[in-house]
Amino acid sequence: MSTAAARPTPGQTVGPFFGYALPYAGDAHLVPPASPGALWLHGSVFDGLGAPVTDALLEVWQAGPDGRVPRASGSLRRDGATFTGFGRCASDGEGGYGFWTREPAAVGPSARFVAVTVFARGLLHRLLTRAYLPPRDAAEQAALQRDRLLGGLPPERARTLLATREDDGSVRFDVRLQGEGETVFLEHDPPRTP
Amino acid sequence: MGLEGHPTATAPRREAPVADAVPGLPLPALRRGSAPALLTQADITAEIEAEHAVSAGLRARGLAVPATRNDFAPYRSSILRHPTKDPVQADPEAVELLAPVFGERDVHALEADLTATGAGEPVGERIVVTGRVVDGEGRPVRRQLVEVWQANAAGRYAHRRDQHPAPLDPNFTGVGRCLTDDDGTYRFTTIKPGPYPWNNHRNAWRPAHIHFSLFGTQFTQRLITQMYFPGDPLFALDPIYQSTTDPVDRELLVARYDHDVTQHEWCTGYRWDIVLTGTHRTRLEEPAEPGEEHA
Ligand SMILES: [Fe+2]
């Protein structure tokens, strides 16, 4: 039965009242906070006037340091040991968010990145983007330079996808929904059936 | 209204001009409309109709329009929060082609019954909402997480920011979770939510709805949306529902009453199926643009 693909269910805004429903204990702690080898991936969300977006919800999905995509359950009930690769964080009163996670390794030919989904009141349909991790060596630098998404973007647009290393070793990734430095958001066609 | 405000729709696969995004210059969206307190429903309804005409005109010309438009000024909170540049077409990478795994340890079976969280029965019309989550080819999305949240029967959320002077229900929080089964079926027992007022414009009311959060088999299928009830008189007035500009797409957001789901002397039943196919645009013989996939 392969006729025309079914029409997808449209998105609708997450609205203002997700705060008591979607966040959960340990949602942003893919690993225990400040545990050995933990990465603090953090940033802020801004609107078209540069004001912080205090009612956004970010989700991350990523490979582990071994370059494998996690297939373990347990994101909603963290056991402190299993790396599930998924996290969720509501932005705070200053538009900030942060995840305790691990440095992902690259999977396949692309440079290493964390997949990021953005929801917010006022945002009618969710946005998808990628936070590319700063290179730790020449090989990772080269992977960034030949990444097929980054390579197809004007440099000033590609820059919006590059997370930056802070002095304290953490990694910063800001999301700008609109205006100067507007983050590149992605669209992926549904996979075609042969 | 000119087409300049809709770069996404008029220039598929290309970056929009950056002029709109220069700091210090007013964004075009800010010039649209007036302050919420001064806005009437008639103003918003007229804006909705104008935006729908823009979408319909683009579709008639064979141009791609997102099913739900982020750039939809009748929903005032969207004005400073919608991207002004086209989304960039990207082939999903390995990570994006898989989705997080959820299992029995993540979700307790009782979380699918929103009427069972308090000491007593919540007030309102008890309902079952069930349906299947499938991908674009109709394959079930198995063992995957579905999350819901909603207002109570009086239209009040159990959320500190909800200021609507309607009663809270000590027996209802309005939050539920479940996993789909091997057929992609989810099922919640809950209370029919009430409509509620909001401050988009004067006398603005949301049609009754349940918020749904869904994961597919790929991370690119991640979806948050709202399920509505059939025949709601507020549909035509609601800028959020109407931000899905094609009536065929809007219909997909509405559950149908199903007497086979209704249970004898217990509750009424609604069926709502969900199709996840990642980011979608209606495509009408869009010409291939070799070499511009990532432009
Ligand atoms: Fe709502």
Query: What's the pLDDT tens digit per position in B139-163?
Result: 999 999 999 999 999 999 999 888 8
Domain assignment present for residue A41? The answer is yes
- HEC string for chain A: CCCCCCCCCCCCCCCCCHHHCCCCCCCCECCCCCCCCCEEEEEEEECCCCCECCCEEEEEECCCCCCCCCCCCCCCCCCCCCCCCEEEEECCCCCEEEEEECCCCCCCCCCCEEEEEEEECCCCCCEEEEEECCCCCHHHHHHHHCCHHHHCCCHHHHHHHECEECCCCCEECCEECCCCCCCCCEECCCCCCC
Contact pairs from chain A to chain B, CB under 8 Å: 270
Chain B residues with CB inside 8 Å of A125's CB?
A: 66-70
Domain assignment present for residue A186? The answer is no
Pick the residue from chain A with its C-alpha nearest to B29.
Answer: A48
Look up B157 and say whether it is catalytic: yes
Its ipTM equals 0.95
pLDDT number for residue A4: 59
Residue B148 and residue B129: Cα distance in Å, rounded?
11
Residue B79 and residue B25: Cα distance in Å, rounded?
15
What's the number of domains chain A is made of? 1
Cβ pair B102:A73 closer than 8 A: yes
Chain B residues with CB inside 8 Å of A154's CB?
A: 15
Of A74, A153, A185, the CB nearest to B83: A185
Of A7, A21, A187, the CB nearest to B175: A21
CB B94 within 8 A of CB A67: no
pLDDT in tens, B103-114: 999 999 999 999
CB B274 within 8 A of CB B212: yes
pLDDT at B10 over 60: no
Look up B206 and say whether it is catalytic: yes
Do β-strands B274-276 and B126-135 pair in parallel, antiparallel, or remain unpaired? parallel
Domain assignment present for residue A189? The answer is no
Domain assignment present for residue A12? The answer is no
Q: Domain of residue A126: give its range.
A: 30-176
Domain assignment present for residue A6? The answer is no
Domain assignment present for residue A8? The answer is no
State the average pLDDT for chain B.
Answer: 86
H-assigned helices in chain B:
7-10, 28-31, 41-60, 247-251
Domain assignment present for residue A4? The answer is no
Domain assignment present for residue A7? The answer is no
Question: Choosing from B75, B76, B157, B270, which is the catalytic residue?
Answer: B157
Of A69, A76, A193, the CB nearest to B95: A69
Residue B27 and residue B92: Cα distance in Å, rounded?
32
pTM score, whole prediction: 0.89
Q: What are A165's strand-pairing partners? A: A171
> What CATH number is associated with residue A157?
2.60.130.10
